[in-house]
Amino acid sequence: MVDIEGASLNSSEIALLQRRSIGGLILFSRNYESPEQLRDLIGSLRTLRKDLLIAVDQEGGRVQRFRDKFLALPSLGEIGKVYEENTNKGIKFATLCGWAMAAELLYYGVDLSFAPVLDIQNVDSRVIGDRAFSANPKAVINLAKAYIQGMNSAGMRACGKHYPGHGTVEADSHTELPIDGRSAESILSNDFRIFAELKEYLDGVMPAHVIYPAIDDHSAGYSEVWIKDKLRQGLKFEGVVFSDDLSMEAAKKISSSKERAKMALNAGCDMILVCNDRVSALEISDWLESKSYCQSDRITRMRSVPTEGIKNLFKQRKWINAVETINSFALN
């Protein structure tokens, strides 16, 4: 899965996206100008490659790539605060937000938002913070179930991140390699437990670029212990494993881009993300094609299947009610 530079495709990107080693595209804020432009961009992508998996990070709060003329979604942490005050109201709000997020993206043709965040909330974390539902694992589980059910009811699959848990480390894996020094018991009974209890609800998982020395010397995205042993064999998880971006600083402990790709795939990742680094994306594409890697059959399951009402989304009473509810929450 790669990225593009701007609001439309250039000739080099058209060539890149037609390569057999490319199975997906992730969009960022720089790729969005307006709903009309987004529709045109998605249309050109679908004309080029109908099978391309198109994704974005549209979590809500401070991580929402499409903003202007899009519904301003609350952070998952804000949903968690509603849950703390009133459990039933929080569950309903989580379901509504999951549906609204997914429905709006599906309307414009985006397959997947990498959501929800399943990390445990910790005020010391520089990268997670209010991106997570709660500091309470049980609350995270309950709210995630509701949020995912909302996504699914619109026709979108769910990809939980950042396995087995990024929220309890202070360091930001975008800029450095975090190390979680807790005991294996603490990690497995708290962070990992969330993924274990949600395995039947998740169609995909994204491992963290975090090292957990009590369990393995490799960061989770490069770890056969975390992916093959604990996720695949232990939890019997059959969904897609997406690497987090292999161009993040935490991933660059392995200096060679091809070696990073090899380690992630050997650990059990089905699809690797290479963003904001076209040189590495091309090197990895060349390497993949020289090795005759085939796309995992699991990846096709992540393509969206929008429900019938999505075509007329903005006329739906459910959408109008969702907008009113979420906007009124933002005003309070």
pLDDT tens, position by position, 181-204: 999 999 999 999 999 999 999 999
pLDDT of 211 over the 80 cut: yes
Q: What is the pTM of this model?
A: 0.96
Question: Over the stretch 258-284, which tens digit does the pLDDT of each residue have?
Answer: 999 999 999 999 999 999 999 999 999
User: pLDDT category, 176, cuts 50, 70, 90?
Assistant: confident
200 found inside a domain: yes
Q: Counting Cβ atoms within 10 Å, is residue 119 exposed (0-12), middle (13-18) or buried (19+)? A: buried
Q: Taking the mean position of all CA atoms in its chain, how far away is CA 234?
A: 22
Radius of gyration of the CA atoms of the chain, in A: 19
Query: Is 244 a known active-site residue?
Result: yes
Which among 244, 245, 270, 277 is annotated as catalytic? 244
Q: Which residue has the tokens 């933002």?
A: 330
The number of distinct structural domains making up the chain is 1
User: Looking at residue 252, what is its pLDDT?
Assistant: 76
On whether residue 50 sits in a domain, the answer given is no
| Per-residue pLDDT tens digits for 43-53 | 999 999 999 99
Structure tokens at 213: 């020395």
What pLDDT sits at residue 180? Answer: 92
Residue 57 dihedral angles phi and psi, to the nearest 5°? -100, 100
If you average pLDDT over residues 1-6, what whole number do you get?
Answer: 98
Residue 292: band (very low, low, confident or very high) from pLDDT cuts 50, 70, 90: confident
| Residue 120 burial by Cβ neighbours in a 10 Å radius (0-12, 13-18, 19+) | buried
Residue 198 lies in a domain: yes
In which band, very low, low, confident or very high, does the pLDDT at 167 lie, cut at 50, 70 and 90? confident
What CATH number should be reported for the domain holding residue 80? Answer: 3.20.20.300
> How high is the pLDDT of residue 332?
72
Predicted local confidence at residue 168, as pLDDT: 80
Assess if residue 7 is contained within a domain.
Answer: no
Tell me the pLDDT of the chain averaged across its residues.
94
Domain extent, residue 220, equals 73-277+305-331
Query: Tens of pLDDT along 72-103?
Result: 999 999 999 999 999 999 999 999 999 999 99
Within a domain: residue 113? Answer: yes
**pLDDT for residue 127:** 82
Asked, for residue 300, whether it belongs to a domain, the answer is no
174 an active-site residue? yes
Q: What is the pLDDT confidence band of residue 296, given thresholds at 50, 70 and 90?
A: confident
Q: What is the pLDDT of residue 177?
A: 83
What is the percent of the chain where pLDDT is above 70?
Answer: 98
Q: Does residue 212 sit within a domain?
A: yes
* Count of CB atoms situated within 10 Å of the CB of 263: 22
- Is there a domain that residue 41 lies in? no
Q: pLDDT higher for 265 or 293? A: 265
Catalytic one of 40, 172, 174, 229: 174
Phi and psi angles of residue 42, each rounded to the nearest 5 degrees, phi first: -65, -40
Distance CA 229, CA 210 (A): 17
Asked if pLDDT for residue 126 goes beyond 90, the answer is no
